[in-house]
Structure formats: structure tokens, C-alpha cells
Structure 1
């Protein structure tokens, strides 16, 4: 059997240090992959222990869409069923993904979202012209011919492409060991996002503060602060399973099409108690029921990066056939000698206030829980988050922060406080 290596790369850089560009989302169809997104999260959570989690559900959906374009039979149906396309007429999902990504990347003045896809084909192997045509049509994929036997050169070429499409935030994604003489095709999908808060944090209000981890330990972190108008709500699962009442805060980016939603349990409740109730309908309930009001927000700076081997995770979600000798990817070539040997995603997320690199804390903010005039969101313990398009429901980013950016006692910033 020949091996088809699939690399689903996602870079998600939320850096409000830079101006952004944006998109108009007036006629974007509704995304239907939220259930798939949540199932992916729960699989990663089950294997993640006390680690931070960061991944892009939409990036995974796009990468699987590219594979689906070349799949037939059981291989095709497993992908459609798992991702949430089985209720659509066959082939409609490709237009759906195309419309979602195209609309999200239209020019505007608010933020920037970039999708990039590339195919690397083994020279001398004949691929179905219709498959290549549809890859260009639906995914605007670049197509390059390489010799996978020259594994070091191929790894360098793909890594260079990845760096160029992720503002050099993702480097050395692959190595020579990822390729061999039986590799026939590699798919790479990259997503890049950059946006500014609509209500920005003032750097001079950032100071050190204790963050309580779920294992009982504490670390020092840089806590941003502001009082502003945000979408806020308090919810309960009706039992003590999630610790009773928990908070949901939605903070829009410039233009308000994109937002970050933060879900925070009570101080004494571990995030692990809240995570089991997270379901796709609940995401919609949160989005529909948060109300705009003045809120005091304490949010830590955090930077998380994670490389995920998606093969086992996708198999757990029911996408099994494409990873076996029974795979039918015959829409790519005339034969049935391809199967997927690798599925990887790498994600990077950084959340700061604008101008954070120059922020020397003055310690002017008194962090207190008393005499609160407005709802107060104090993210000084683990929380769940999503970054989504508010019109379509597309989840570009999902994860959790178990440990934010840690400041050591001998850090210059710490000492200045």
C-alpha cells in the first residue's frame, strides 16, 4: 500500500499588537460543524490531563474536506457522517466550506483571516485531473510536484511554505522522517488570524496576579484589566455537576463579526467539572442569551502552542477507513492503493492587550472582589474559550487555559510591581 500523508496545520495568532484586516459576512451560510468541534474538544480533553488545549475545528474540517474530495465509498461516508455533512446532498459540503472560507477572508478594515492550502504530489505518479481541478476550485490549493524520496528537501520546502503562510509563527512542522519513498501526496492546510479587541485593554492597567490552577498550586501571571461593555450572562446546568452557576463573557473584535467567548466556572470549581456539559446546543444557547452590559474583566495574558496527532482522535470519532488498507481514495488516482498515514495539526494562540510588549505595570489597579458595581469576570483560574464568527457560528478556535503566561519572581516586570 502507498501512504498519503495529511498535515492539517493551523496557526491562530491573536495578536492585537498589530492592525488587522477583515471580512464581510453578510451572506455566509450557517456552519454545521459545531457538534464535530465539540466532540473533537472532548477527545483532546480526555487525553490532555492538566494541559492547555488549542486547536482549530474549521481547519480540521477543511483538511478533511480536501481528503473527502478524493474519497469514495465507506471512506467518503465516514467523513461526511463524522463532520456533520450527512444531512446535505452529496457534494454540497464543498461549496459550503468554500463559501465559509471565502467570505471570512474578504477584504475589510477590522481583522485578517487567511486560509491557505497546498498539495505536494510525487513526481511520476498520475493523479486524476478532475480531482486536481476540484481542489483548485473549492480550496484554491497550490499544487507542487516533489520527489518524496528526497525527504530532507521536501520537509524543508513544506516547512518554508508553512512559515510563509503563518507569519513565521509555525516553524519546523515536519522533518525528513515524515516522508519516504512510498509517500505519494501530502496535503497542508494553514489558517492565520489576527484581530484587535473592539474594547482594548490599556497596558498600564496590567499587573501581576496569582492564578490558581486546578491542582491547587498557584502561579504568577500578567493580568489585564478593563471595565467596558461586553456580552455577558450567568448560566446554570440545573445541578451541581458543573458547580452550579458559571459565567459566560463574549468579547468582540473590531467589526464585531468575530469574538472570543470565555466560559468561567466559580473560583472553587475545577474546569473539569464544567467541561462534561459542553455540547453544541449549549454553545448556541450561550451565544443567544448573553446580553450587552458593563462588565469588569480581569483576563490573563496567555500564549499556547500545541501540536496534535489527529489520527487517533479522528479514528475515535468514527473516521477509521481512510487510515487502513481498506481506504478508498480512488478519486485521487485510478487505483485504490492510497491510505492516510499522517494527520497533524499545529496551533498557536497569543492573547495580549494592544502594546503589551511595552507594558511596564504600574500596579495602579486594586484587584478586589468587594464593592463591585458591575458583573465581574475574574479569570484567575482555568477557563474554556472559543473564537467564533458571530454570524455563521463557525468556530475558528477552541481550547482551554489551565496555565497562563507565567511570570517568575526574578522577572524584571514582576520586580517592577
Structure 2
């Protein structure tokens, strides 16, 4: 029987918030669900004691008890920028793989999943994931990075008029040899709750997991897992990321019109919404692009849209290959309020894709290879207690010094024989206008002094939480009608 380490990300959209009808509102809904199903091969399976009987030291971390407490600004920006850079590279690789196709991803959601796997990995698997996320290859330093990232994720849950929710959990078979240190650290850093499951009872376990999903997705996904999991499954990790919000400045519903959207090879008629007023905007001659910020009414979440200034001279892919997220962040910092006329497509888009190839292309390779992937800090396949190994793991997890010799011990821990089998990402995006009446004279639409940002050809768009600087959602749109 082949081992498998299956992780699945799913994103969906909705039209209601807290039971209230949001029809006609400017609503973005983002939901990322991630599951990791871990199986042990027959030759690796051990008759271990129940996970509850494992006794190891409880980890103390520096994560504040207040989930909304923020790390220092400097450290916050370093981690957030690393995660955002990871998401940008992932998106560009996916653009190369799926030419001229709509692609929607959650950099923060995927990074949260990889961070959870990084906690349990050693050796080359650890180094590749760490480098890809922008973390350190030093396990001790990564404990601090995990704490910073965990703090940022929890800070997303501080909701005002919009709503952002992040949650994660681990379902563990009662006899899975899960390392208690991993369990404790997962909770301390990412608030991941560990729940018991009997994977021999496949239908019951499927229902329990689906209930968790429903409870953490505002009830919008009821049957996330449709088929029972294999009885050889030992651990399931899940994370959910949810966002919905309304524009600070509503689009004008009465001016939404069918207009031409220029796809790479032809044109299609799309519903383009209209807005005008003062928005953060910049035209960068250096990078030959322009970018506009469309704030939400919570004062801390913003959608940014950028595109080539002259699409006939440079494609969106060419532009995004030429720049990186750091340069985009620098351009954002130079934006100034300008009078703008905005045309933006009204969209209801689904995107379904596999992430394995894109992750491999940006450096995460070993975790997909049976026999080479090593998650020995998550699963302990050694039934003989090794006090030296336990002491080293405890010291490093508690933030004590890591020596080269101790790292070698970790890298040589018995490999539990699990690997990542597939990475699926399903997303649905809904963007529309809200408001019941226009609040400005139509003559303002034709103001000659106004900048024009018409998203009527392929563009890149992302949502950023300004408190944490995390990009929760990003997309490239080649056809808003598809």
C-alpha cells in the first residue's frame, strides 16, 4: 500500500454575513480549507500507545495570550513580506503553467498549511519548505518565525466591520504516534486544536470532520469531504480562512454596463462597474504599470489592482515576471490620493487547480517524494524511547541553543514514511457593487483631471490586511466572464 500525505485547499463564496442578506452589496468572500491526510505504510505501522498516553514536556512559547496582540512592526513586516513574496512567486509559476487562465489563490492560507508541515519536518524536507516560505533553515530561528506568523494569523481574527477568520485543527487517530511536542507547539503557536478520531470508522470520521468545516466556514460548506477517508489515515490537518467585506466607496449599480474586455486573443462583453472619486493611485513609469487601491469600510483591508499601463506593448505575465512583491510593496508606499474614474468587472469566478507543480517549481520538492520526505518531528515511528533525542527536541523547541551535532540527530530521526501526495486548490470569487443611489453628479465621470483605471484587460488583484500586511487573497484575471 502506498503511503500518502494528502492536502486539499478549497475556497468558496457566499452572499450573506451573519444571516443578513447581502445581495447587491460589494462583497468579497474568501474561504480556504486545507486538509492533510497522513497515512503510514504497512511496513512502517507500529502498535503504538494511544496518543493521550504520551508524556513529554509542555512547551512554553512567547506567543501572547491575547490573540489580537501584534508582534513588533519590524518583525511583523519581515514575516508578512516573506509570506507575500512566497504567494507572488507561487502565482507567477501557476501563470506559466496555465497560460492566459484565471488563477485565484490564498497566499496566507497555503503558507499557513506549509508552516504547519514545516513544524513537523526535518532534513531536506525542512530546508526546502523553510527556504520557500522565507523562514530560516535553522530550526531554532524558525521557532521565532513560527511565533511571529502565528501572531499575525491570530491578529486577522480581530474583526471590525468586515470579517476575517482563521482557524486550524488536527484530527488524530487514537493510536497514532503523534509527538506531544508537536501537538503542544501547534496549539501554542497556531491555536490548532487537537481532536480525537477513529479512522477505522470511516463514515463517522468523515461526518466529524465535515462538522468542523461547517462550523468554521459560517455554514457555507457542509460536505467538504464527500468520500470516506482510507482506514490507514492517521492524522488530518485542517485550516480555514474566511473573508468578507464591503467597499468603503460603493460602486454605482445604475452605471454597471456591458463593455468590451480585451482577452489575450479576442474580446468578450463583460459587466464593468463604475466608480469615481479620490483613491490611492500611482502610474509607475519605471515599471510601466499603474495601480489603484480600493479600500474596504473596515479601514484596514484594501484591494489592490494593477495592470500594464499599455497592455498592447506588454502582457500581464511579462509585467509580473519583470517585478516582484517587494517592488510592488515599494510602489504601494509611493501611492498618493488622486481623482480617479474606475471601471472594474463584476465577477463570479471559480478556479480549480493543483499546486504540486507550482510548489515544486519554487523549491518544495522533497515532501512529494516517498522515502525522501521526512516528517519525523510530527510522527514518531520509533517505539523505543530515546532520551537523547527527546532532550534535544525539547531544548530546541523551548528556544535553547541548537548545535550542529544536535541538528544531525534531528535529521537522522526515524522517518515515519509519509509524504505529500497532492495539493488541490479550489476557489470561488464574487465581486459586485453595493449602494442604492448615486452620491455624485454624473458630470464628475468626465472630469479631465481624473486618472482612469479601466480593468478592461488582464489584471492582477490582491487583498491585503493592512494591520498585519498579509495578502490573504490574490488573483490574475484574464476573463471576468469565465
Specify the TM-score bucket, using the shorter chain as the normaliser: 0.7 to 0.9
Report the counterpart of residue 49 of structure 2 in structure 1.
none
Deviations 1:319-361 (A, max 9, x none): 2222221222111221222222233333332111125xx99x9
1:81, distance to aligned residue in structure 2 (A): 0.8
Superposition TM-score, scaled by structure 1 size: 0.83
How big is each residue's C-alpha offset from its partner over 1:373-417, in whole Å with a ceiling of 9 and x where there is no partner? 3001111111111111234431111111111147xxxxxxxxxxx
* Partner Cα distance (2:196, 2:71) in 1: 38
For the residue of structure 2 that corresponds to 1:349, the secondary structure is strand
Establish whether residue 96 from structure 1 lines up as the match of residue 96 from structure 2: no
Shift of 1:137: 1.5
Output the CA distance in 2 between the equivalents of 1:27 and 1:354. Answer: 36
Contact residue 98 and residue 139 of structure 1 kept, 8 A: yes
In structure 2, do the counterparts of structure 1 residues 353 and 401 end up closer, same or farther at CA, with 3 Å as the change threshold?
same
Change (3 A) 1:19 1:180: closer
Specify the alignment match of 2:8 in structure 1: 7
How far has the Cα of 1:55 moved from its partner?
0.4
Q: Which residue of 2 aligns with 1:162?
A: 213
- In 2 relative to 1, CA 130–87 (structure 1 residues): closer, same or farther, beyond 3 Å? closer
**Structure 1 counterpart of 2:178, from 127, 135, 143:** 127
* Residues 1:401 and 2:477 are matched in the alignment: yes
Task: Go from structure 1 to structure 2 and tell me whether the alpha carbon gap of 1:19 and 1:379 turns closer, same or farther (over 3 Å shift).
Answer: closer
Q: Structure 1 pair 33/271, CA: closer, same or farther in 2 (3 Å)?
A: same
**Per-residue displacement from partner, 1:212-233 (whole Å, max 9, x unpaired)?**
2111132x22211111111101
Q: Is the 8 A contact 1:71 1:331 kept in 2?
A: yes
Out of 422, 428, 444, which is 1:342 matched to?
A: 422
Pairing 1:274–2:319 present? yes
SS at match of 1:377: strand
In structure 1, distance between residues paired with 2:105 and 2:12: 9
Deviations 1:93-136 (A, max 9, x none): 211111101112114x3311100112122342231122111112
The residue correspondences of 1:54-69 to structure 2 (distance < 5 A) are 54-69=104-119
Answering whether residue 444 of structure 2 is matched by residue 373 of structure 1, we say no
Q: For the structure 1 residues 186 and 149, does the alpha-carbon distance in structure 2 shift closer, same or farther, using more than 3 Å as the test?
A: same
User: 1:175: how far off?
Assistant: 3.8
1:18 deviates by 7.8
TM-score by length of 2: 0.73
1:330 is aligned to 376
Pairwise CA distance, 1:180? 1.9
Counterparts in 2 of 1:88-237, with a 5 A limit? 89-107=141-159, 109-170=160-221, 172-176=223-227, 179-218=229-268, 220-237=269-286
1:10–1:136 distance in 2 versus 1, CA, 3 Å: farther
Q: Which is higher, the Rg of structure 1 or of structure 2?
A: 2
Q: Which runs of 5+ in 2 are unaligned?
A: 17-21, 29-67, 382-414
Taking the aligned partners of 1:115 and 1:392, their CA distance within structure 2 comes to: 13
C-alpha distance after superposition, 1:239-279 (max 9, x if no partner): xxxxxx32211111123321111012235354233232231
8 Å Cα contact 2:250-2:434 kept in structure 1: yes
Aligned residues of 1:271 and 1:383 also touching (Cα < 8 A): yes
1:152–1:175 contact (8 Å) kept in structure 2: no
Deviates more, 1:96-105 or 1:9-18: 9-18
- Following TM superposition, by how much is the alpha carbon of 1:161 offset from its aligned partner in structure 2, in angstroms? 3.1
- Residue of 358, 364, 374 corresponding to 1:313: 358
Q: Helix, strand or coil for the counterpart of 2:151? A: helix
Native 8 Å contact 2:352 2:427 kept in 1? yes
CA shift for structure 1 position 192 = 0.3
After the TM superposition, which of the residue ranges 317-326 and 304-313 deviates more from structure 2?
Answer: 304-313
Structure 1 residue 14 displacement after superposition: 9.4
Contact 2:156 2:468 in 1 (8 A): no
Q: Is the 8 A contact 2:26 2:247 kept in 1?
A: no
In 1, the alpha carbon distance for the partners of 2:13 and 2:69 equals: 19
The whole-number CA distance in structure 1 between the counterparts of 2:145 and 2:264 is 40
Q: For 1:268 and 1:250, locate their aligned partners in 2 and report how far apart those are by CA, in whole Å.
A: 23
- How far residue 292 of structure 1 moved from its aligned partner, in angstroms, is 1.0
Give the match for residue 388 of structure 2. Answer: none
Q: Does the 8 A contact of 2:132 with 2:364 survive in 1?
A: yes
Q: Distance in 2 between matches of 1:333 and 1:182?
A: 14
Aligned length: 389
**Which has the larger displacement, 263-272 or 281-290?**
263-272
Post-superposition shift, 1:163? 3.6
The reply on whether 1:295 has 2:340 as its aligned counterpart is yes
Deviation (angstroms), 1:236: 3.1
1:226 counterpart SS class: strand
- CA RMSD of the aligned region, Å? 3.1
* Alignment partner, residue 264 of structure 1: 307
In structure 2, the CA distance between the partners of 1:153 and 1:211, relative to structure 1 (3 Å rule), is farther
SS of the residue corresponding to residue 62 of structure 1 reads helix
What's 1:415 paired with? Answer: none
Shift of 1:291: 0.8
1:295: how far off? 0.7
